[in-house]
Chain A
């Protein structure tokens, strides 16, 4: 009996010693293979960790310090998309801890949400063909929230044989920037709407004034006063039409003057129906884009010259033709607006440069405002040309 108990005791001790020997051998093997990070040592103050310095410890520490400082997330994966490295910024960005996700599939950190379904495939192709891809996408975090990101992804290769060993991604959170961009776009859109509204209201207000003038004119008996009020009304409507065109158009800074002129002239012919019946209107205008101030000035000039031609070039009842032209010389950025009629022409000896009729005075003033010159043609009939420089504005 005692022999067996002693025997068992020896066997137990033997087994115990063997286990302890194995542990010691294991520790020795790992240390000599350089696979150990640190040792736990007992001290009077409790257990302490002693870190072992390997040959490349300082390099590793330096690299580690750089990656810890970098504010972009850095994630490395192997061929099977399993995480082999992530830095502190990645842990923070995605709300994960390294020990949780190392060795797990990348989807444990984030999901990729692409703007278009093909984008993911296209990125993979670019990566495999050139070894690099850079672009924007959306990442879904584990808690369900999403962030806009700009990623820079590179293929990693085995140093020994150059085969593909994984991928390295540097990921920047651009959610703030995207949000700011959207805010700016929204703000711009809002401004455009407001600007259109303003044009609309200005047009309406001018129409009101114009109607008041007409109303006033109707209540008067003096024909000449009515005519004057009528002219005033026309000039107001000329400006109102500019605002109406801006309200209708996409471009908020410039309008197509040829299009405007055609509407204006149609309106003038329409309001002077009886005269207009016998006078033909010809248009010879090229499309020219103008900012609002020039458009208003040219509109008023056109209103005077065309209106004058219609009203005064042809004695009562006779027919004729009025031609309105707009030319552009791209080389000198010079525009020329002209109105010609085949009517009676200007009165002999008319000093039109010094004439005090309001209409021509206006045209001279307005040409001056454009920084341009006013000239007459040689006949037959009357011709007025306004020439000025209009630099192209590129929006």
Chain B
């Protein structure tokens, strides 16, 4: 069985997943390397997103692999910064400084495709 579960094909299952997303608990892991600019921005941006959209129902673990690269093996990390959504399923990964908020909200199932976005700030 692969680590990444297959994405559901039909829309009803998708909508169900989105509905669950309104109350489900999120477990996120952010891999960074020390205090480089992208890593710093990634932490700030992800925390912002979590506080604004997942307040009280998320767990964010920040893992610094600069001292111990072996930590990257567990979630098969190749590029840093990387954000892994472990829960709710399916597993998702995002790479970069997390500044493209809309894309990430979509990927975290916090936005329906085509929904009009609210004005959001991100650190560039």
Contact = CB atoms under 8 A, between A and B. Distances in A.
Contact of B80 (A19, A20, A33, A38): A38
Most buried by A among B7, B37, B65: B37
A31 B70 CA distance: 22
A35 B97 contact: yes
A84 B44 CA distance: 6
A285 B40 CA distance: 76
Contact of A83 (B6, B44, B99): B44
B77 to A, nearest CB: 6
A311 interface: no
B93 A48 contact: no
Contacts of B32: 37, 99
B70 A47 contact: yes
B64 A26 contact: no
Contact of B69 (A12, A49, A99, A103): A49
Given A82-B48, A99-B32, A99-B43, A36 B95 contact: yes
B43 to A, nearest CB: 4
Interface of B: 2, 4, 6-7, 32-33, 35-40, 43-48, 51, 62, 64-66, 69-70, 72-73, 77-81, 93-97, 99, 121, 123
A371 B2 CA distance: 105
A-B CB proximity, top 6 nearest: A103-B47, A35-B96, A15-B6, A30-B96, A30-B95, A102-B43
A367 B81 CA distance: 89
B44 A102 contact: yes
A100 B62 contact: yes
B38 A37 contact: yes
Nearest to A60: B37
Given A16-B2, A103-B43, A47 B69 contact: yes
A85 B97 CA distance: 14
Interface of A: 12, 15-16, 18-20, 23, 26-27, 29-31, 33, 35-40, 46-49, 51, 60, 64, 78, 82-85, 98-100, 102-104
B123 A26 contact: no
A29 B62 CA distance: 22
A104 B47 CA distance: 7
B9 to A, nearest CB: 8
A23 B95 CA distance: 9
Contacts of A83: 44
A29 B47 contact: no
A261 B47 CA distance: 78
